[in-house]
Amino acid sequence: MLNGIHLQSSSLLPSNLSLFSSTPPPWNPSLLPFSTQRRTQALIASARRERKVETLADIKEAEVVEEEEEEYGEEGEELEADAFAYPDAFMGREGEKDYDRDPEFAEILGTCVDDPQKAQSRVEERIRKKRSKILHAKTGSAKPMNVLFNKFDFSNSFIWFEFYNAPLTKDIKLICDTIRSWYIIGRLGGCNSMNMQLSEAPLENKRPSYDPIYGANVTPTTFYNIGDLEIQDNLARIWVDIGTTEPLLLDVLINALFNISSDFVGIKQLVFGGSEFENWRENLTSEDAGCSTHKI
């Protein structure tokens, strides 16, 4: 009897709880019902993933959860499924870093189970807002590039470009890089139609053979020399000395320029040969007139 109140026997209380102690006993999750344990453990795991763990006791409790998950086996898998019902507990360990970097996407994933239609509308809205970063519209021309030959001499000729509009700085850089790569491959003899062993091999041959003796004795084709890319408004030209008559070299360049024209900068026509071309003016060097020279 204490202050007129009759207390039950102390045997009904946990052994680690004292009636005369003001300090509560350490929290022991094993004293809770099993269903409550699972929910509690899920919340601890979620807090740890969200970096809400601040005290040493929380860290120890989270470590106990990890050990129990490994011990439970299949029951641990049920724990993860149960944890998915909580808004903050949907983030798996493997995707933790990605979700941390994109909390909006993590939130969408968290609502996809309870409300799939809402999650779908959120994804569609996200794509509409970020479409400029996801989809890149083509800046070239839908019309195929026209290719003409005008008394082309492999050892001494100009190659002429006519663009739909005056090329921008990034377009000029792309054209220069393409021509430079083309020249390097040709200079090293990479475009030799006399040694096409793999291209001429039967298609059904899954393990083609290569004859190094034959490849070494084929007459080499070497790109001799190339000039600078000259530009006047929407026109451009470059002088080449390919040396040997090698049509494969021209095919490689044409194929690359076809893709550039359709995807990046529209090329109206590509002309091989000829000393003059429409409005091209010789000895024009003024930058104010849209003239520039670019080293290859």
Number of compact structural domains in the chain: 2
Please give the Cα distance from 75 to 11 (Å, whole number). 33
- DSSP annotation of 236 reads E
E-only strand ranges, 114-220 = 146-149, 157-163
Q: What is the pLDDT of residue 88?
A: 47
**Cα end-to-end span (Å), the chain:** 103
Cα 76–Cα 82–Cα 88 angle in degrees, nearest 5: 110
Q: What is the pLDDT of residue 99?
A: 47
Are residues 259 and 152 part of one domain? yes
162 within some domain? yes
- By DSSP bridging, strand 267-272 and strand 146-149 are parallel
Q: What is the CATH number of the domain that holds 150?
A: 3.30.70
**Has residue 16 been placed in a domain?**
no
Same domain, 87 and 164: no
Same domain, 150 and 290: yes
Within-domain flag for 236: yes
CA distance 156 to 70: 76
Q: What is the pLDDT of residue 264?
A: 94
In a domain, 234, yes or no: yes
Q: Which stretches within 50-101 are classed as H helix?
A: 56-72, 74-83, 96-101
Same-domain pairing of 125 and 263? no
* 178 and 120 in a common domain: no
Task: Tell me: do 105 and 231 sit in the same domain.
Answer: no
Give CA–CA dist 102/108, Å, rounded.
Answer: 10
Verify that 61 and 110 share a domain, yes or no.
yes
Same-domain pairing of 111 and 180: no
For residues 86 and 41, membership in a common domain is answered with yes
Pairing of strands 146-149, 157-163: unpaired
* Judgement on whether residues 164 and 250 belong to the same structural domain of the protein: yes
| Total-model pTM | 0.55
Residue-range definition of the domain harbouring residue 126: 26-134
CA nearest to 245, candidates 261, 228, 264, 222 = 222
Does residue 153 sit in the same domain as residue 284?
A: yes
- pLDDT at position 50 is 55
Boundary-marking domain end, from 112, 134, 156: 134
Do residues 150 and 289 both lie within one domain? Answer: yes
How do the pLDDT tens digits run along the chain, 296 residues long? 444 444 444 444 455 544 444 555 555 555 555 556 666 666 666 655 555 444 555 555 656 656 655 555 544 455 444 444 444 444 445 444 454 567 777 777 777 777 888 888 888 887 777 666 665 567 888 899 999 999 999 999 999 999 999 999 999 999 999 999 999 999 999 999 999 999 888 878 788 899 999 999 999 888 999 999 999 989 999 999 998 899 999 999 999 999 999 999 999 999 999 988 888 988 776 666 678 999 99
